[in-house]
């Protein structure tokens, strides 16, 4: 049973929703009985079959839960259960009071399952929004796996309020160390109470045991690593959704020789000149290194047309808008999936200057379309971009990005060599079959091994 705050196509803000849109179906195809539990947001448009509505019995001494409603969709061999609470009856997925909202969700999930007569063999929680579900599952004797998709976002709130929201006993905070610098930390709840912890790439699993990437939890991560409870399983890619041979949004092609029509179409769409196209499709955030890209633009436009699709940090949006009058810079604000497909297919190179990258899907998509990545050597970018395909740099600086892009431009000026790189990129295999099997193997080990002790955990 997967528990996550978003799942494509019902709800999505980024890579987490994409993962939950594919992994459960692949696991079901491999013979597992798979259920996905997610909030019933007001924005869920698909027809959901109501199953149950009522008031759940709360934990003695804790505030009662509000009325809960549960609905179901069955699709692709997977059962999707949506848990509706008044706190989620508003537009959008995420809000400033999310620690409170997902505390309610975390307390409600297991009692809802009990009402439906459901008890999973293994519960697989994803990111901090599912951390409290994992904690309650552990107390109920249910084995679990907890996946960290991004350690930077932890679900923290002041301890005075947060303890009362969680429904956890006081010893979970004092003895277990769920208190985190005076706060409740729902990410830490998932880490502490799960049977196994995974991240979405092997390199990120190693990085988060260090102060540079551990976000204050590196001590706990090293403890989990020492217990054999921390590992990295690389995300896959929805290769049906991202397939240049069948993509309805682009001139289809199957090898680099056929990519020319997509490149010409993108140039015509934005009135670009004959210089190669360097693209980025990204959240505009410091994590993604978009400030480095903006800082590099004065040098990049000497060699490249630069096309950026994304939204997020208002300061970064404003920084890109300052370049909109430049003939070699295009900034399309927001997210537009058909345009994203056209950019992936029509660009020559793809920039991902991330300060950290737990896995990353954009570099996989780009390579699937024969678009060569220029990436910072971190996290999943290390694990997915071969040296004979893409280009990488180490220092998180505009200068290092410029140097890597100049290396890429020199390679572009050798058409045969560039085409060989693009051909290798398009042959890379990023399907979900391998990762899905790894997770099923991990579930089997969780079920067959001794449950981790509920005591003896370290302070982070």
Q: Do 72 and 80 touch, CB atoms closer than 8 A?
A: yes
pLDDT, tens digit, 9 for 90 and up, residues 273-314: 999 999 999 999 999 999 999 999 999 999 999 999 999 999
Residue 116: which region, alpha, beta or left (left: phi > 0; alpha: psi -120 to 50)?
A: alpha
| pLDDT exceeds cutoff 60 at 257 | yes
In this prediction, residues 173-182 reach a mean pLDDT of 80
Residue 37 C-alpha from the chain's centroid: 17
pLDDT, tens digit, 9 for 90 and up, residues 82-113: 999 999 999 999 999 999 999 999 999 999 99
State the number of CA atoms in the 13 A half-sphere of 305 facing the CB.
22
pLDDT, tens digit, 9 for 90 and up, residues 370-417: 999 999 999 999 999 999 999 999 999 999 999 999 999 999 999 999
Q: Residue ranges for the binding site for ADP-alpha-D-glucose? A: 12
Q: Do 189 and 138 touch, CB atoms closer than 8 A?
A: no
At residue 280, the pLDDT reads 97
167 vs 78: which has the higher pLDDT? 78
Q: Residue ranges for the binding site? A: 12
Cα–Cα dist 375/293, whole Å: 11
Q: Let me know if 353 is exposed, middle or buried by CB neighbors in 10 A (0-12, 13-18, 19+).
A: buried
pLDDT, tens digit, 9 for 90 and up, residues 26-39: 999 999 999 999 99
Q: Could you please report the per-residue DSSP string of 340-408?
A: HHHHHHH-SEEEE--S--SS-SHHHHHHHTTPEEEEES-HHHHHH--TTT-EEE-S-SHHHHHHHHHHH
At residue 458, the pLDDT reads 43
């Amino acid at each position: 049973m997967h528990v996550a705050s978003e799942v494509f196509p019902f709800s999505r803000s980024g890579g987490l929703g994409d993962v939950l849109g594919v992994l459960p179906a692949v696991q079901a195809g491999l013979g597992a009985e798979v259920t996905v539990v997610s909030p019933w947001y007001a924005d869920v448009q698909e027809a959901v079959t109501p199953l149950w509505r009522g008031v759940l019995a709360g934990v003695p001494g804790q505030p009662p839960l509000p009325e809960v409603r549960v609905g179901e969709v069955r699709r692709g061999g997977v059962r999707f259960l949506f848990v509706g609470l008044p706190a989620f009856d508003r537009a959008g997925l995420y809000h400033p009071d999310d620690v409170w909202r997902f505390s309610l969700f975390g307390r409600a999930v297991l009692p809802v399952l009990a009402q439906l007569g459901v008890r999973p063999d293994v519960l697989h929680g994803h990111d901090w929004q599912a951390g409290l579900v994992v904690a309650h599952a552990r107390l109920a004797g249910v084995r679990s796996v907890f996946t960290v998709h991004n350690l930077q976002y932890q679900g923290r709130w002041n301890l005075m309020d947060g303890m009362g929201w969680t429904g956890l006993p006081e010893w979970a905070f004092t003895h277990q160390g769920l208190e985190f610098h005076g706060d409740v930390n729902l990410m830490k709840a998932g880490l502490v109470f799960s049977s196994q912890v995974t991240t979405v790439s092997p390199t990120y699993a190693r990085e988060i045991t260090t102060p540079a990437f551990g976000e204050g939890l590196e001590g706990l991560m090293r403890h989990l690593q020492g217990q054999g409870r921390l590992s990295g399983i690389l995300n896959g890619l929805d290769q049906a959704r991202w397939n240049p041979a069948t993509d309805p949004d682009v001139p289809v092609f199957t090898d680099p020789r056929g990519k020319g029509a997509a490149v010409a179409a993108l140039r015509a769409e934005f009135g670009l000149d004959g210089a190669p196209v360097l693209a980025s499709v990204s959240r505009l955030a410091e994590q993604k290194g978009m400030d480095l890209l903006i800082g590099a633009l004065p040098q990049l436009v000497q060699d490249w047309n630069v096309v950026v699709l994304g939204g997020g940090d208002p300061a970064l949006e404003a920084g890109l808008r300052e370049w909109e009058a430049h003939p070699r810079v295009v900034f399309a604000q927001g997210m537009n999936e058909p345009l994203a497909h056209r950019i992936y297919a029509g660009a020559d190179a793809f920039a991902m200057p991330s300060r950290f990258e737990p896995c990353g899907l954009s570099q996989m998509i780009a390579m699937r379309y024969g678009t060569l990545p220029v990436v910072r050597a971190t996290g999943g970018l290390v694990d997915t971009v071969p040296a004979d395909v893409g280009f990488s740099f180490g220092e998180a600086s505009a200068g290092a990005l410029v140097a890597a892009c100049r290396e890429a431009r020199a390679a572009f000026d050798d058409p045969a060599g560039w085409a060989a790189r693009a051909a290798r990129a398009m042959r890379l295999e990023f399907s979900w079959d391998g990762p899905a099997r790894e997770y099923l193997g991990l579930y089997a080990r969780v079920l067959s091994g001794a449950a981790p002790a509920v005591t003896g955990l370290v302070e982070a």
